[in-house]
Amino acid sequence: MTAEVTWHETKVTKAARQALKGHAGLCIWFTGLSGAGKSTLANKVEEELYQRGIHTYLLDGDNVRHGLSADLGFSERDRKEHIRRVAHVASLFVDAGTVVLTALISPFESDREQARSQFAEGEFLEVFVDCPVEVCASRDPKGLYDKAQRGLIQNFTGISAPYEAPRQADVTVNTAQNSIDECVGTVLSAVLDTLQLNVIGGKIQA
């Protein structure tokens, strides 16, 4: 960034946007191996929040690669840039008073911490979707593990590239040991506790 690029303050503040929506903004960051259930969980949690009158948006890592990150591959450098972009967009949603859910493998602890740093205290909830790689590979909904094991996909997390599990995730769910509905309940409870604000017309429904 050059010195000629300046920050322009807006008349409408974050607090005003949140007041209009009736709740605070929040980023729910789902991380885990491919096939662990991140997208499934994020979709179901978003649906539950939507039904409670909470303004939401879901940024799925694969979907973002169709547009904003269409120029990126899966090298460590490109993965870092992909996460940086998603985190920045997510921070804009939070600034607008929206609860944004992100579903990305985001394999490196440093990248997830960098993402967290884009948000104020209480605006970022890291959800570790824990599942053994053997179980993820047995699910293999996209056939990616099979291709990676045959050497057809390089830098595949869990096979030919590492995944650094969160050391202190805000929420941890295990989709190999618990049902999706149980995992959704765990995440939803943490989200509602974090929001701690009323919606227009009454309390956020538990």
Check 69, 75, 91, 106 and give the catalytic one.
106
User: Is 189 among the residues known to form the active site?
Assistant: no
CA distance 65 to 72: 7
147 appears as a binding residue in the annotation: no
Q: Tell me the Cα Rg of the chain.
A: 18
Q: What is the DSSP string of 9-66?
A: --SS-HHHHHHHHTS--EEEEEE--TTSSHHHHHHHHHHHHHHTT--EEEEEHHHHTT
Three-state SS at 106? coil
Residue entry with tokens 């941890």 = 172
* 101 neighbors 30 (Cβ within 8 angstroms): yes
> Is 185 assigned a ligand-binding role in the annotation?
no
- The residue type found at 199 is V
**Residue 35 assigned as binding residue:** yes
Answer yes or no: is 101 a known binding residue.
no
Q: Is 36 annotated as a binding residue?
A: yes
Residue 34 assigned as binding residue? yes
Residues making up the binding site for ATP: 32-39
Enumerate the active-site residues. 106
Residues making up the binding site: 32-39
